[in-house]
Structure 1
Amino acid sequence: MKYKQILLTRPPTGSNALQGGSDADPHPQPPLGLAYLAGVLDRLPDVNVLDILDGNFSENYVYDVTMAVKKHNPDLVGFSAFTPFANPALEAAEAVKKVNSNILTVLGGPHAVLADITLQKCPSLDIISYDESEGQIEEIVLGHPLEDIPGLFIRKDGKTIPTKPRSYIKNMDDLPYPAYDKLPHFPDGYHPHPPKSTGKKWCSIMWSRGCPFFCNYCNRENSFGLQFRNQSPEYVVDHIKYLHSEYGIEELTFYDDVMSLNRKATMKLLDAMTPENLGFNLVWDAETRVDLVDQEMLFAMKKAGCRMMSYGIEHGEFIHEIKGGTATLEQAENAVKWTHNAKIETVGYFMIGLPKETPETIRKTIDFAKKLNCTYAQFAITMPFPGNKLYDEAVKSGLIQLDDTWDKFVYSGIGTGGVQAPVLTTQTLSADDLAMWAKKAYHEYYFRPSYIFQKMLKIRSLDDLKMYYNGYRMLKKDTA
């Protein structure tokens, strides 16, 4: 059977997941995964992809999915979900089947790593697609037999079975641009996470997939694999020019795991992104590793419009161990220093509550963070997301149960009304201890007189003053 009328959707992605996981995100990011799927399906004849239903613009997500199904009568409804927000997607799948039991329901996204328990929990869900899903969705829609399509979990004889593994996309230039025209309120309805914003028209973008490093807190290998692949610089520049000409985009966030891994291609891309070559002034930020930058590259980034670089530094003692056995404290110091020398702001990500954590090791992380003096720092209580090594170890040791309380698996941090209770504790630190240390880390970092003085010197407008005031008011409230 060929599927002609397609509805793609995601549940809301608000950070208040511990209270149910169905609240709208105050800083919604474009659902690039669904937009890529829509772009692939748009190339097929006789296939109509409806506008993507983004739950962040819904007051009642399940109701809106139900109404969309009743109105458009799709043949296939595809959901994408992160684990903390999977339950609303499953509720919506049940609602879809109540309207028309013949509609095929498919789930993809990071939550696909829990395929077996998810299909057991939700009989209304027909298929789970794992890893990259552009190839799977195309073959499903074209009517290929499900058992012959690689990269799926399907139901057979009352059991959940995987089809054969699927190869990752090798030529990234074969991908179409995401179908931005299918996104509601694009681009003005989507916003970068503070402080990654200048107020210009913004969009997120990815030019690579895959990461060869084995960080024990990361589960991205279950989405894009371990083989790094990037689009050609020419493709990326054409993509950026398209976003600028069609939507007025002047600011980007690169959400690649390791934006600068392919140094030769990165340098070529940076040269093409300078104002004289691009044709306009682009402002952008990105994330990469401290062992994948150098001074020449960072100065080239600045020339190409980079205003902020985020680094997963993670820890003041265990950095080498948890970053796949490569990154070092010295590399972190050099990366931050070189980035600041290039006049690029920095964000440092740090973790509290690793399995071997003690008050002494947390103290080392806080002190190291203050020594680095990144422009901004985030201290998250360690979260063993399904699919990463920390999660697997915690399940084996009985610290986490394989149940469906998925809304607990959300980053625990400041800005959502306080530090949320951690899923995983350590041998020497309770949940209350970890929450206390996270608050302490934020308070010590941001309320240093030297840090406050540096920020005051950078105030150039009333908007700057308001931003810093609101930030400090939030921190004061959540670290009290």
Structure 2
Amino acid sequence: MKILLVNPPDKHFSRLAGPNQANFIHHPNAPPMGLLYLKAYLKQKTDFEVQLWNSQSPSAPGEKELRAKLLEFQPNLAGITTTTGNWYDARETARLIKSALPQCHIIVGGVHTSVYPEETLSQPEIDSIAIGEGEDTLLELALRLSRSQSPEGIPGIWFKSNGKIICNPPRQVEKNLDRFPFPDRSDFSPEQYRLSADRFSRAAIIITSRGCPFHCTFCCTIDKHYRSRSPENIVAEMLACKEQGYLAIDFYDDIFNINKNRVLKLCDEIIRQKVNLPWICRCRVTPMDEEMIAKMASAGCERIQFGVESASQRILDMIKKQITPEQVRHAFSLAKKYNILTLGYFMIGFPTETREEAQATIDFAFELDPDFAMFHCLIPVPGSEIYEQAIQSPGFFGDYGREFAKNPSPNFVWRSWSTTLTENEQFKLIRSAFLKFYFRPQYIIRSLKKLSSMEEFLAKAQTAFKILTTR
């Protein structure tokens, strides 16, 4: 049995409307972590030949190279990962594979398939889709196909039989994440992924937990079952990455600090094992307190990314954020006290939001004065509660995400939602916020003093150019 795991290209990655595009820091060299987990698990559990094809590598192999690879390797099973953002390229990749190897079974996975399962599987080139966690689902499918058996009954699989879509029962989430092997990074160089907002360090992405129990209306996280790995397991992966030449860690959890006790134990283990690698994470402002942030700083935390969203308590309550502006102030002040860099996410354009509330959110960013700020207009994304609200509004664009899932096109653009503020008014506020925040003389001087290399300078100069030129 031969299996090819495919990360499709991002040549036609969907654009964000207006100045939102300035926030879009797409890392084409970032390893596709889902596929790396799948490859490691298949190699651990089987003797199948498993290879990875990365169309987003620095060398960026194209269609000609992929076709040659297919004819040389002759996989029986091809697994393609996709988001809605690169669904067009994923579908085109499936077409290429099926045209080269008509008998190859093609399965597609990723968040997109959970949001739009029927639309994905309706594409004639696609034989099955995986919904939810993929490790055991793909393993069971590969074992079945190796025996020329049907996928019928495999939890988490939808497939086609005689032109009819068969929906197998859902797969239960895995509670014991420690049983999965570390991602197989053998196809990637530590040089490929850099933390451009910090010291441009070559970084390993590590996922310490899965799922998010919160219900923010603007978020499309499907997995609401929070589970975490043990501190010992996480630190073992950190040490393995250090041995491979990585100089920093990007903890890529939805929320790193959901459980305070877990954070404290993990930091203690990092310190005990003398990992000595800087790391960044994404946190909620609650339950952040001084004990937690002091321990994080001692364990090497260099940057925390906080979702602030709004300065208005009315808006925060409406979007089910479950935080207050005062809690935001407290978290940012603690980070500064312990010399941890901060990045804040700020959003305007919520339904019924007034211009005064939107401006207050932008002013709040200047009051907090994080090291980095991301200003967004609300983009209702498929799978979120707010998208379902938007598509019922006569002033929106209808269920255009579903239409794109049915008929992917190369020029897809995500749309903002104009309720109280027009789209143009939102764009002007966001563009002005970016320019005023990042081009303050004191901010420029502060940033220049922190530069550690010419690479970092060039990366930040490129970001500044993007802010200046994005309309």
TM-score, normalization: structure 1? 0.87
Distance change in 2, residues 1:346/1:13 (3 Å): farther
Deviations 1:423-456 (A, max 9, x none): 1321233332222221011122223344345445
Aligned partner of 1:403 in structure 2 is 403
Residue identity matched to 1:186: S
CA distance in 1, matches of 2:459, 2:103: 51
- Match for residue 22 of structure 2? none
In 1: Cα distance, 2:268 partner to 2:452 partner: 30
Aligned to 2:117: 115
- In the TM superposition, residue 469 of structure 1 has moved relative to its aligned partner by 5.0
Select 1:290's aligned residue among 280, 285, 291.
285
Q: Is the 8 A contact 1:356 1:426 kept in 2?
A: no
Please show how residues 163-182 of structure 1 align to structure 2 within 5 Å: 163-181=168-186
* CA distance 1:471–1:85, shift in 2 (3 Å): closer
Which residue of 1 is the match for residue 431 of structure 2? 439
Task: Work out the CA distance in 2 between the residues paired with 1:42 and 1:461.
Answer: 39
What secondary structure sits across from 1:354 in the alignment? coil
Q: Could you state the TM-score of these two structures normalised by the residue count of structure 2? A: 0.88
Residue 239 of structure 1 corresponds to which residue in structure 2? Answer: 237
The amino acid that maps onto 2:37 is: Y
Indicate which of 336, 357, 361 corresponds to 1:361: 357
Aligned to 1:312, what secondary structure does the other structure show? strand
> Secondary structure at the residue paired with 1:148?
coil
Pick 1 or 2: higher relative contact order, CA cutoff 8 A, min separation 6.
2
CA distance in 2, matches of 1:238, 1:442: 40
Which residue of 2 is the match for residue 187 of structure 1?
190
Local SS of the residue matching 2:160: strand
CA separation of 1:91/1:469 partners in 2, compared to 1, >3 Å: closer, same or farther? closer
Counterpart residue number, 2:259 = 262
The answer to whether structure 1 residue 136 and structure 2 residue 132 are counterparts is no
Which stretch of the first structure deviates more once superposed, 74-83 or 309-318? Answer: 309-318
Amino acid at match of 1:429: L
Name the aligned partner's letter for residue 239 of structure 1.
E
* 1:296-316 alpha-carbon deviations (Å, 9 max, x no partner): 111111111111000011112
Deviation at 1:89, TM superposition (A): 1.1
Q: CA deviation at 1:36?
A: 0.4
Which amino acid is the alignment partner of residue 294 of structure 2? Answer: F
Q: State the Cα deviation string for residues 13-72 of structure 1 (Å, max 9, x = none).
A: 4696349xxxx9555211110000011100233311013434344645433332221110
1:226 maps to: 224
In the alignment, the residues of structure 2 paired with residue 227 and residue 463 of structure 1 have an alpha-carbon distance, to the nearest angstrom, of: 40
Cα distance, 1:266–1:371 mapped onto 2, change above 3 Å: same
Task: Report the counterpart of residue 379 of structure 2 in structure 1.
Answer: 383
Query: Quick one: which amino acid aligns to residue 334 of structure 1?
Result: H
Counterpart for residue 301 of structure 2? 306
Q: CA offsets, 1:129-180, max 9 Å, x none?
A: 1111111001101106422111122224534342111100010111111111
Partner Cα separation in structure 1 for residue 127 and residue 373 of structure 2: 42
Q: Deviations over 1:79-105 (max 9, x none)?
A: 001111011111111111112211100
SS of equivalent to 2:280: strand
Kept after mapping to 1: 8 A contact 2:5/2:79: yes
- Matches of 2:280 and 2:463, distance apart in 1: 20
> Is 1:92 the counterpart of 2:93 in the alignment?
yes
Task: Report the 3-state secondary structure (helix = DSSP H, G, I; strand = E; otherwise coil) of the residue aligned with 1:240.
Answer: helix
Shift in alpha-carbon separation, 1:315–1:406, aligned structure 2, 3 A: farther
Q: Residue 329 of structure 1 corresponds to which residue in structure 2? A: 325
Count of equivalent residues: 452
Change (3 A) 1:455 1:136: same
Can you list the C-alpha shifts for 1:376-431, whole angstroms capped at 9, x where unaligned?
A: 10012222222111222223336333311767999xxxxxxxxxx75132123333
Distance 1:89 1:359 in 2: 39
Q: Is the 8 A contact 1:18 1:408 kept in 2?
A: no
Encode CA deviations 1:206-247: one digit per residue, 9 max, x unaligned.
Answer: 110011100111112x2xx212110000111111111112x1
Is the CA contact 2:209–2:228 (under 8 Å) kept in the aligned structure 1?
yes
Contiguous gaps of at least 5 residues in structure 1? 411-420
CA RMSD of aligned residues (A): 2.7
Q: Which piece of structure 1 moves more, 91-100 or 370-379?
A: 91-100
Structure 1 residues 46-57: aligned runs within 5 Å: 46-57=47-58
Which secondary structure does the structure 1 equivalent of 2:375 belong to?
strand
Distance in 2 between residues matched to 1:395 and 1:18, nearest whole Å: 19
1: CA distance between counterparts of 2:9 and 2:341? 30
Corresponding residue for residue 19 of structure 2: none
C-alpha distance in 2, partners of 1:110/1:284? 26
Partners of 1:407 and 1:335 lie apart in 2 by 42
Q: Is 1:6 matched up with 2:3?
A: yes
CA contact (8 A) 2:209 2:253 kept: yes
**How far apart, in 1, do the equivalents of 2:468 and 2:95 lie?**
42
Secondary structure at the aligned position of 1:340 is classed as helix
Task: Between 143-152 and 85-94, report the one with greater CA deviation.
Answer: 143-152
